[in-house]
């Protein structure tokens, strides 16, 4: 039986571990600081714990951090990392530097069961949920993690379809005894899993992004099968009941497709649906994938749509496309060789 992992444990859980292992109660805060504050790779590095405490802890526990098993570097500075998961699969995340900002786009599932027609992850199918440890390991173990200013849950998977793990991860990222980040630095994306969104709004203060892509339910259904179960109309009813004037930001992601959602009719409906909300729209260029009938639009059309929506009261931006040459841009992530990993060791066999 393998060792248990400390990464992903809350302070209360660390206190329980210390009690069970005969460590002093104050050691829990020390362990949390070493893991989340100093991001050590080995229990041996926790030098303010006694040698005996470290030895006892290392007999049954390991930090749980695992380095990426592959990296691809884009000409624009974006880097895509492939990480092993606890269940022996693989998942991608993307590091996006931008001046004094650095964003990590993390994954929450291997593949995705939402089945969006225009997304490589959706076409991969569903391979399983990531644990909170798997999610946090992307943040913990990505090179240059100390430079991160923002995290977006916009990688592989539907975060609201794995809400327990996502909430645990975001809680530890924002907890004083965890990473102590402001929730304003974290955005969680969803196609609109209504019950999970409702719970997320109650239990988290992180920003929320809705993958909209078409304002008409019947047309959205043709692109996004999840519309049948998680209708955008019902979701918008829920969102209109919330107060978006303070702290939390609401945004809508909108990939623009030639002839499908880029007309004035679509623009008018977006204004009608979204103008009552305190929100913004992020327009995203479509990055074509094999065997798909969809096509992107010209830069002129992107600018026209942005200006139309902004002029009619809905703040709209065009998201910069990054990492397209390494299939790291929006909708292009996938697991390269799921289930074909060997064993990944930490610092040494004792931790």
Report DSSP state, residue 227.
G
Cα gap 304→266, rounded to integer Å: 13
Decide if 13 is catalytic: no
Decide if 330 is catalytic: yes
**Catalytic-labelled residue, pool 158, 227, 330, 346:** 330
132-170 burial code (b ≥16 CB/10 A, e <16)? bbbbbbbbbbbeeeeebebbbbbbbbbbbbbbebbbbbb
Cβ-based neighbours of 99, under 8 Å, separated by 6 or more: none
**Catalytic-labelled residue, pool 18, 65, 92, 105:** 92
Decide: 140 and 39 in contact? Cβ < 8 Å: yes
| Alpha carbon 235 to chain centroid, angstroms | 20
Decide: 190 and 210 in contact? Cβ < 8 Å: yes
Count, in order, helices (H) and strands (E) of the chain. Answer: 11, 14
Instruction: Give which of 5, 8, 37, 4 is closest to 170, Cα–Cα.
Output: 8
Cα gap 31→38, rounded to integer Å: 10
Q: Which residues are catalytic?
A: 92, 330
């Amino acid at each position: 039986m393998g060792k248990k992992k400390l990464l992903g444990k809350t302070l209360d859980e660390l206190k329980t571990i210390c009690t069970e292992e005969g460590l002093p109660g104050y050691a829990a805060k020390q362990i949390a600081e070493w893991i989340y504050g100093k991001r050590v790779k080995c229990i041996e590095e926790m030098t303010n714990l006694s040698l005996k405490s470290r030895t006892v802890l290392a007999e049954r526990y390991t930090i749980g951090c695992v380095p990426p098993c592959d990296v691809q570097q884009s000409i624009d500075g974006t880097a895509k990392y492939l990480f092993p998961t606890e269940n022996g699969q693989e998942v991608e995340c993307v590091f996006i530097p931008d001046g004094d900002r650095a964003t990590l786009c993390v994954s929450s599932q291997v593949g995705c069961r939402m089945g969006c027609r225009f997304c490589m992850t959706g076409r991969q199918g569903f391979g399983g949920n990531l644990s909170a440890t798997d999610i946090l390991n992307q943040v913990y173990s990505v090179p240059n993690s100390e430079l991160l200013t923002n995290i977006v849950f916009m990688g592989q998977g539907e975060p609201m379809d794995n809400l327990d793990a996502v909430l645990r991860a975001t809680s530890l990222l924002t907890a004083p005894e965890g990473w102590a980040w402001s929730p304003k630095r974290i955005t969680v994306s969803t196609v609109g899993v209504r019950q999970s969104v409702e719970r997320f709004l109650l239990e988290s203060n992180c920003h929320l992004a809705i993958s909209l892509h078409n304002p008409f339910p019947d047309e959205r259904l043709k692109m996004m099968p999840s519309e049948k179960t998680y209708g955008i109309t019902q979701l918008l009813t829920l969102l209109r009941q919330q107060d978006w004037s303070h702290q939390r930001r609401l945004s809508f992601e909108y990939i623009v497709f030639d002839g499908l959602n880029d007309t004035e009719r679509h623009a008018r409906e977006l204004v009608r649906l979204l103008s009552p909300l305190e929100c913004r729209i992020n327009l995203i260029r479509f990055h074509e994938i094999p065997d798909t009938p969809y096509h992107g639009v010209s830069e002129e059309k992107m600018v026209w749509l942005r200006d139309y929506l902004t002029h009619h009261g809905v703040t709209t931006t065009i998201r910069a496309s990054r990492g397209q040459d390494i299939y790291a841009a929006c909708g292009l992530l996938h697991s390269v060789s799921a289930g074909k990993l060997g064993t990944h060791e930490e610092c040494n066999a004792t931790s």
